[in-house]
């Protein structure tokens, strides 16, 4: 498994990291429908056996549940994987989720994550969303103090814009930016990659398969039959007019992938890793067989011809949706 150094830090991450959002289980606002914890634990353990050396999670996934599942899966392991988790999305008794970046809240969140994950120190602690914007400096200062106290090794952010990155950088150097990046979500290519490279900030990208849409295993019927509490039912990428264009794109990608003896899911992940500024992709899985398929995407290198052929398909989709 290829590894890349995360920005200026000492962390050497496998280019595929395991994403655990769906392992939060069902019944909360951003759930992915029902999920069996035993299946989640087997998936985590299989990912580590396959050479993945880090796991991305968040306090809010399953309102604390996902961190507990990760904690169970890694308990007793001699070689613990690098653990990246996130703060800022907090919730009340009714399960309403909101953003909070006050220093006392960050401290309480770190303690709660350490307890749920059953670890002594969090390797990479990330602010999930910059909300509320006016409190990002306060939260970042609190996180810098928690690094001094030894509860956190490195700190990064997620879903920040460049102006927000510039505001917090003088308080403490930013280890990494976590942003969405897939063939359907390319905002990061405009300025973010260049900024991070210039500042030696690591880049972690999420949803490389666009939440499963770019795997070749979705069709209209499956979208219609997603469980009621699977948040993808409300995601515009899974709804018309985008859905038809996205399913068509997947069919066209399939022939590129199959000509190289690969799958669409592998192609989607390899494509984001083609950018040298990207340190690693977080690849979500909820069953061992899923990560068994996608883990090899980190070993494949796309040719210039592949890149050009994919670019042409993406242009065609943009035009069909009147987006360009
Ligand atoms: N910072 C943030 O705001 C943020 C936001 C989003 C994600 N993330 C992180 O990034 C991770 C990855 O993103 P993501 O989970 O949204 O999307 P993703 O990695 O693009 O897609 C993951 C989903 O695709 C399906 N899948 C995975 N492997 C498959 C395979 N081999 N064949 C068919 N289907 C497969 C699974 O769902 P089904 O089987 O149900 O289809 C899986 O949950 C998350 O888990 C999370 O850790 C962070």
Predicted local distance difference test score (pLDDT) of residue 322: 85
If you average pLDDT over every residue of the chain, what do you get?
A: 97
Beta carbon of 293 within 6 Å of any ligand 1 atom: yes
Close Cβ partners of 96 (under 8 Å, ≥ 6 residues apart): 29
Beta carbon of 20 within 6 Å of any ligand 1 atom: yes
Residue with the smallest CA separation from ligand 1 atom 21 is 211
Q: Which residues participate in catalysis according to the annotation? A: 61
Confidence of residue 212 (pLDDT cuts 50, 70, 90): very high
What are the tens digits of pLDDT across the range 34-62? 999 999 999 999 999 999 999 999 999 99
Predicted local distance difference test score (pLDDT) of residue 276: 95
Beta carbon of 268 within 6 Å of any ligand 1 atom: no
Beta carbon of 21 within 6 Å of any ligand 1 atom: yes
Name the percent of the chain lying above pLDDT 70. 100
291 Cα: distance to centroid of ligand 1 (angstroms)? 10
Predicted local distance difference test score (pLDDT) of residue 323: 78
Confidence of residue 282 (pLDDT cuts 50, 70, 90): very high
What are the tens digits of pLDDT across the range 197-206? 999 999 999 9
Residue with the smallest CA separation from ligand 1 atom 38 is 212
What are the tens digits of pLDDT across the range 89-116? 999 999 999 999 999 999 999 999 999 9
Beta carbon of 178 within 6 Å of any ligand 1 atom: yes
Please say if the pLDDT value at position 324 is more than 80: no
Mean pLDDT for 228-232 is 96
- Gap between the Cα atoms of 163 and 160, Å rounded: 8
- Gap between the Cα atoms of 49 and 24, Å rounded: 22
Please say if the pLDDT value at position 187 is more than 70: yes
Predicted local distance difference test score (pLDDT) of residue 156: 98
Residue matched to tokens 């979208």 = 223
Please say if the pLDDT value at position 182 is more than 70: yes
Ligand 1 pocket test target in 160, 212, 257 with most atoms within 8 Å of CB? 212
Query: What does the DSSP 8-state code read for residue 80?
Result: P
- Gap between the Cα atoms of 28 and 34, Å rounded: 10
- Gap between the Cα atoms of 148 and 131, Å rounded: 24
Residue with the smallest CA separation from ligand 1 atom 13 is 207
- Gap between the Cα atoms of 55 and 319, Å rounded: 37
Residue with the smallest CA separation from ligand 1 atom 26 is 212
């Amino acid at each position: 498994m290829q590894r890349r150094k995360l920005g200026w830090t000492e962390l050497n991450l496998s280019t595929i990291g395991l994403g655990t959002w769906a392992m939060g289980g069902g019944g909360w606002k951003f759930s992915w429908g029902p999920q069996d914890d035993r299946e989640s634990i087997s998936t985590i353990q299989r990912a580590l056996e396959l050479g993945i050396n880090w796991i991305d999670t968040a306090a809010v996934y399953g309102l604390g549940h996902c961190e507990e599942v990760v904690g169970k899966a890694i308990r007793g392991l001699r070689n613990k994987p690098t653990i990246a988790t996130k703060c800022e999305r907090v919730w009340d008794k009714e399960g309403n989720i909101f953003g909070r970046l006050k220093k006392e809240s960050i401290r309480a969140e770190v303690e709660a994550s350490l307890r749920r994950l059953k670890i002594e120190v969090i390797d990479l602690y990330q602010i999930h969303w910059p909300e509320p914007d006016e409190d990002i400096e306060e939260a970042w200062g609190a996180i810098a103090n928690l690094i001094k106290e030894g509860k956190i090794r490195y700190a990064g952010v997620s879903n920040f814009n460049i102006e927000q990155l510039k505001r917090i950088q003088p308080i403490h150097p930013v280890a990494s930016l976590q942003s969405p990046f897939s063939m359907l979500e390319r905002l990061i290519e405009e300025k973010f990659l260049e900024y991070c490279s210039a500042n030696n900030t690591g880049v972690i990208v999420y949803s490389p398969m666009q939440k499963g849409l770019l795997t070749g295993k979705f069709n209209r019927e499956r979208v219609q039959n997603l469980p009621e509490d699977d948040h993808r039912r409300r995601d515009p990428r899974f709804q018309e007019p985008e859905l038809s264009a996205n399913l068509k794109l997947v069919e066209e990608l399939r022939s590129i992938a199959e000509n190289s003896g690969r799958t669409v899911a592998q192609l989607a992940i390899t494509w984001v890793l083609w950018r040298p500024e990207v340190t690693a992709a977080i690849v979500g899985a909820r069953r061992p067989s899923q990560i068994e398929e996608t883990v090899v995407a980190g070993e494949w290198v796309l040719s210039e011809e592949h890149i050009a052929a994919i670019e042409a398909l993406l242009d065609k989709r943009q035009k069909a949706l009147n987006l360009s």
